Structure 1
């Protein structure tokens, strides 16, 4: 791979992380935690110096980047940025080194798995987790635009949009423009949810944390407990809106300004069907709280993991099945993505039609485009790779001392980037019960979930094997 092709974007990411750390330092000072502000400043300095050096050294250099080069950039970004972001967790003294790294990777990958509840942390660290998750959600959207749109060019899983336009010979050709557009849409949507929470009676700090956590579908809260009890029904409604917005293809919000027909996108119908179906399971398993059940179903489908009423998930098996599907492609959710499942569903219908009439030819189309057989094979390969990752990861976790049930739920939660699901799976379940030797496996699963498994394998091949 060509180093110049990915060094400048990597340097820009580090500079962006430094800027976020400076914001956290100002927030710490503003809320009266001035003794923690220098720790965020140290993180900003550590990220800024190599980042600005790379940007200065590569100024004026141009090199075309292939999709594999972009995958290499994605892998290096997911490895290096959270490692730098772990410093405040460790330096503040609330986490030992391995726990600090786990918290940072959980936040940046928008998994939301926590080793200490919000009630036991200073508010600046609560803000740090939320803004890291918000930055990770933004990076996830750029990953979908800059890489997966190129890799999936023959698969209509990612909606074709002016927002996602790429040149096949250089996947970074339109990335600066796409980064600007995505940033505008992402920040605007976050601001709208923030305003709703603010007018719903929440303070400035709480509204900021909850809006960033909702849009990034990370599930971080300001205080422990169900949202209905802690922030009320109106604010909970705005959190639900934020999670649903985060679960949709970011291109929809760009394209809807010019074409209202995008509201008929199959992803929207698929997500709605998942919410209705899971809510029905919840209502049957836990009669008497239909309003809370519908909200919890939306939180599960969006892989955010918020809880309306608190307590244990009423239909855990159905919830695991749903989170492994996830939301739309080019969204902040985890999972296989509903568009891929819809593609396979259409393929199953075509196969049944052929079985009834072997002489018939039934092409598969999606979003008005005919899907080639090679593309469908790619979708099947990804689904099988995702399932295999859960299986091998579960076996690896059991080898570290976890019981099978906890290992399976922890692996599914990490790979689908919905950490709170483990805490809600059983009355006494908690990430604090996970031994240190299991955490590197779970961190790897979080990164795999964000790189979508097969892309992660291709990224390793691009960096370490390809000549």
Structure 2
């Protein structure tokens, strides 16, 4: 693994974050908070200065990396970028060092767990949360389409797309092309949601925060409480659509420009089934609130976790486990991903048919592609690694002072990157009531969930063990 293969792209990401921070600093002037602009200037300095020095020092070094090397880059990026992003939170005086890190990692990983309500913060910090979540959503899609697709090239659960031709021996050779195309799709869809929210009567600041928070499935809003307390039915529907847009594999949007049959993708059917099933549970538990139950179901399945109403989440167990499934691969959602679960479901169908009639030979296929046993082993390994991380994390949280119920739900919310779900579990459950030890346990859990648990373990192995 060449040193430049890690340092140069990582430095470019630091520079990019610094430039984005400068834009948010300029926005602080427009929001009447010019005294906070230097805070974002600090992130500009700590991101751009070392980043430019590394770029200059590695200018003549060749850059090339396998998919596993790129995965290591993803791990280092998800560790270092939030460290830089935490600077404005800390310098603002609203957060201590641990809380600043928690807010930054929660934002970049699109978890959406907040320690202070938006009303208690300057609007520029609320915008910074949403911007970081939007950037994290973009990075998640890019990592999934450009890196995970190369690692899992033989697994039919990963959608094949004309968006990018993968070269596993040198992922970076096409990374710029992938980033450009994905960013174009991502930015256009975000702009459409933002404009639609403005046209329905929302202020530009409210609209941009909700657009960033919905498509990234971070669940960020410029106000606390349920959406129904601040938005009309049409605006809530637009937020739901934004979350659903983020929950779909972004390569599908690119493919749909050339072939309308792309909309027949099985992930869409899977998301629809999850939304319908969970909404039915909610309707049974709380009849007479159709829009509320449907909206809550969408927000759980897409792992955005927006609140609707003031009551605690009904059928909490079902909501937690469906949130851990999440949306499509190649989307901004957290969780195991619906295509992996559907592939395992297809395998169960084949096994049951074989048990019923051993003479029948039914080949295993998914998305019109053969599903070899190694693909199923890889998916089972991921599911087991996810559950193992959930169990270990719950134990660590109980040791930090939480009871088992709080620890389990908090760890599930962190691994599935659906932070608001913890606050909706019961009245009075808030992230800010946790000890610093619990927050420090949850930060790596957010990274594991965002990078996907098994992939994160592979990145650690490649970074520290592989020769």
Q: TM-score, normalised by structure 1?
A: 0.99
Q: 5+ residue gaps in structure 2?
A: none
CA contact (8 A) 1:141 1:330 kept: yes
Structure 2 residue 386 is matched with structure 1 residue 386: yes
1:51-66 → structure 2 map (5 Å cutoff): 51-66=51-66
Report the more deviating stretch, 107-116 or 288-297.
288-297
Find the counterpart in structure 1 of residue 286 from structure 2. 286
Shift in Å, 1:363:
1.7
Task: Find the aligned partners of 1:324 and 1:392 in 2 and give their Cα distance.
Answer: 16
Tell whether 2:352 aligns with 1:352: yes
Residue aligning to 2:311: 311
Q: Secondary structure of the equivalent of 2:328?
A: coil
The structural deviation recorded for 1:132 is: 0.3
Pairwise CA distance, 1:64:
2.6
> In the TM superposition, what is the alpha-carbon distance from 1:229 to its structure 2 partner?
2.1
Aligned to 1:144: 144
Look up the SS of the partner of 2:402 in the other structure: coil
Instruction: Measure, in 1, the Cα distance between the counterparts of 2:339 and 2:4.
Output: 34
2:461 counterpart residue number: 461
Q: What is the SS of the residue equivalent to 2:405?
A: helix
Instruction: Kindly report which structure 2 residues correspond to 1:13-412, keeping only aligned pairs within 5 A, or say none.
Output: 13-412=13-412
Conserved 8 A contact 1:166-1:172: no
Tell me how many residue pairs correspond in the alignment.
Answer: 467
Offset at residue 311 of structure 1 (A): 2.9
Question: In 1, are the aligned partners of 2:185 and 2:254 still within 8 Å (CA)?
Answer: yes
Q: Structure 1 residue 388: deviation in Å? A: 0.9
Partner of 1:445: 445
- Whether contact under 8 Å (2:145, 2:251) holds in the other structure is no
Alpha-carbon RMSD across the aligned residues, in angstroms, is: 1.0
Q: Secondary structure at the match of 1:396?
A: helix
Does residue 1:436 correspond to 2:466, yes or no?
no
Following TM superposition, where does structure 1 have runs of at least 4 consecutive aligned residues deviating by more than 6 angstroms?
none
Give the direction of change, closer, same or farther, for the CA distance of 1:157–1:60 in structure 2 (3 Å limit). Answer: farther
Structure 1: how far apart are the matches of 2:311 and 2:49?
45
Offset from partner CA, 1:286-330 (integer Å, 9 cap, x none): 122111100110011000000232431111000001001000001
For residues 124-171 of structure 1, the C-alpha deviation after alignment (integer angstroms, 9 at most, x for no partner) is: 000000000000001101111221011110102221112132112112
Deviation at 1:58, TM superposition (A): 2.0
State the Cα distance separating 1:357 from its structure 2 match: 2.0
Q: Is the 8 A contact 2:197 2:238 kept in 1?
A: yes
How far is the alpha carbon of 1:234 from its aligned partner?
A: 1.3
1:359 positional shift = 3.0
SS in 2 for 1:258: coil
Deviates more, 1:324-333 or 1:426-435: 426-435
Q: Cα offset for 1:116?
A: 0.3
When structure 1 is superposed on structure 2, of 54-63 and 74-83 the one drifting more is 54-63
**Which whole-Å CA distance do the structure 2 matches of 1:11 and 1:156 have between them?**
34
CA distance in 1, matches of 2:2, 2:460: 15
1:86-120 CA-to-partner distances (Å, cap 9, x unmatched) read: 01011000000000000000000000000001111
Q: CA deviation at 1:365?
A: 1.1
Over residues 205-244 of structure 1, what are the superposed CA-to-partner deviations in whole Å (9 max), with x where a residue is unaligned? 1111110000100001111121122021111111111000
Q: Whole-Å Cα distance in 2 between the matches of residues 364 and 114 of structure 1?
A: 44
CA contact (8 A) 1:323 1:416 kept: yes
What's the CA shift for 1:57? Answer: 2.0
Unaligned runs of 5+ in 1: none
Does the 8 Å CA contact 1:278/1:319 hold for their aligned counterparts?
yes
TM value normalised by structure 2: 0.99
Rounded to whole Å, the distance in 2 between the matches of 1:61 and 1:146 is: 22
The CA deviation at 1:67 is 1.8
Quick check: 1:227–1:310 contact (8 Å CA) kept in 2?
Answer: no
DSSP-derived class of the 1:173 partner: helix
SS in 2 for 1:174: helix
- Which one is further off, 168-177 or 443-452? 168-177
Q: 2:121 and 2:168 mapped to 1: Cα distance?
A: 47
